Amino acid sequence: MTAKLILVRHGETEGNVAKILDTKLPGLPLTERGAAQAKSFGEGLAAAPRALFHSHALRARQTAGYIEAATGVRAIPRDGVHEVQLGELDGLSSTQAHEQFQTVYRHWHEGRLDERVPGGESGRDVLERFLPAVAALRTEYLEDGGNGDVLVVTHGAAMRLVGRELGGVAPPFTTNNHLDNTETIELLPLPGGGWECVRWGRFTPPFGGKAEFGADDPMG
């Protein structure tokens, strides 16, 4: 198999700029810069994807729309691939709120998946809704020998947790290397049902040697 599943973080949003924990649907829109990022991403693809999906969040739909315009591939909403839901922390921008989530988020990557912030999802909750969506896309598009990658426009915290789970990439790399807007995690399906992570943002394997702290903006 050579076609990949590519998880794409959406473009910059008003919430990213203001450092708001924006998780409830539909969420805040792209900024002008975010729109430019999405347009540039779509135009920069070496080849059009075989299929293009996005979460139900406004920012993901808008990002996918620019990719659709650039590639001609119809953007389709997909259940289960939205951002981590943060309950009582949603809408907050304080240092305390960010630190509270980041503490729980690091614990997820260390295997403590049942922890959660008040009113929010656990790491297990996130994986239990996101991984079936990935499995279905693999069956539908990546196991029939067809050409072309499958793109899913999704969200920073959720896709990092999925990349850690499926690609076997371990902390502290996964917790310290957040993804900038329109950066990707690229997963290559392997015979037997496994996955290999072949890109994490600007990094390619091996991932363990470069753990540069950058968790100031894990969300979106």
> How far apart are alpha carbons 65 and 60 in whole angstroms?
8
* 89 token code pair: 């922390």
Measured over the CA atoms of residue 96, residue 109, residue 120 and residue 31, the dihedral's sign is positive
Q: 58-71 and 32-44 are packed helices; what angle lies between their axes, rounded to 10 degrees?
A: 40
> How far apart are alpha carbons 54 and 123 in whole angstroms?
21
Q: Which of 12, 68, 82, 83 is catalytic?
A: 83
Task: State yes or no: is 54 an active-site residue.
Answer: no
CA of 170: how far to CAs of 6, 143, 152, 154, 180, in Å? 19, 26, 22, 21, 19
Q: Pick from 6, 58, 7: which is nearest to 35 by CA?
A: 58
Q: Which of 10, 82, 98, 155 is catalytic?
A: 10
Question: Of how many residues is the chain composed?
Answer: 220
Task: State yes or no: is 10 an active-site residue.
Answer: yes
Q: Which residues are catalytic?
A: 10, 83
